Structure 1
Amino acid sequence: MNATIVKLALQALLGRRRFWLLLGLPLALIGLTVLISSLSSDGEAAWPMVSFLGYPLVLPLVAILAASSVLGPEVDDGSIVYLLSKPVSRHVIAVSKWVVAWTATVGVGSLGVLAAALIAGGGDRALAWWIAALVAGTTYSALFLALSAFTRHAVVAGLIFVLIWEGLAGGFLSGVAWLSVGQWGIRVGHEISSLLDDPANLPWAVIASLVVTIGGVWFAGDRLRSFALTEDE
Structure 2
Amino acid sequence: MYNSTVARLTYRGLLGRRRALILFLLPALLLVIAVAVRRLAGADDQITTDVLGGFALATMVPLIGVIAGTGAIGPEIDDGSIIHLLAKPVRRPTVILTKLLVATGVTVLFAAVPTLIAGLILGGNSQRLAVAFAAAAAVAAVAYSALFLLLATVTRHAVVAGLVYALVWETLFGSLVEGAQTLSVQQWALAVAERIAGGGLVTSEVGLTPAVVLLVAVTAVATWYAGRKLRVLKLAAEE
1:176 Cα deviation after fit: 2.9
Which of 41, 65, 68 does residue 66 from structure 1 map onto? 68
**Structure 2 Cα separation of the partners of residues 217 and 48 of structure 1:** 32
Paired positions, count = 230
* Corresponding residue of 2:13: 12
* Corresponding residue of 2:216: 210
Query: Unaligned regions of 5+ residues in structure 1, if any?
Result: none
- Counterpart of 2:25, as a letter, is G
* Corresponding residue of 2:122: 120
Q: After superposition, what is the alpha-carbon deviation per residue over 1:138-182, rounded to whole angstroms, capped at 9, x for unaligned?
A: 111111110111111111101111111112343211233111011
Q: What's the TM-score, normalizing by structure 1?
A: 0.93
Q: What's the TM-score, normalizing by structure 2?
A: 0.91
Question: Percent sequence identity over matched residues?
Answer: 39
Greater alpha carbon shift after TM alignment, 58-67 vs 174-183: 174-183
1:15 Cα deviation after fit: 2.1
* Residues 59, 113 of structure 1: 8 Å contact kept: no
* Corresponding residue of 2:51: 49
1:87 Cα deviation after fit: 2.0
* Corresponding residue of 2:170: 166
1:100 aligns with 2:105: no
- Counterpart of 1:21, as a letter, is I
Matching of residues 180-199 of structure 1 within 5 Å: 180-193=184-197, 194-199=200-205
- Counterpart of 1:109, as a letter, is A
Moved over 3 A (4+): 44-47
* Corresponding residue of 1:38: 39
1:40 Cα deviation after fit: 2.3
SS of structure 2 residue aligned to 1:179? coil
Query: Unaligned regions of 5+ residues in structure 2, if any?
Result: none
**Structure 1 Cα separation of the partners of residues 195 and 42 of structure 2:** 29
What RMSD over aligned residues (CA atoms) do the two structures have, in Å?
Answer: 1.7
- Counterpart of 2:216, as a letter, is L
**Structure 2 CA distance for partners of 1:148 and 1:16, relative to 1, 3 Å:** farther
**Structure 2 Cα separation of the partners of residues 229 and 32 of structure 1:** 47
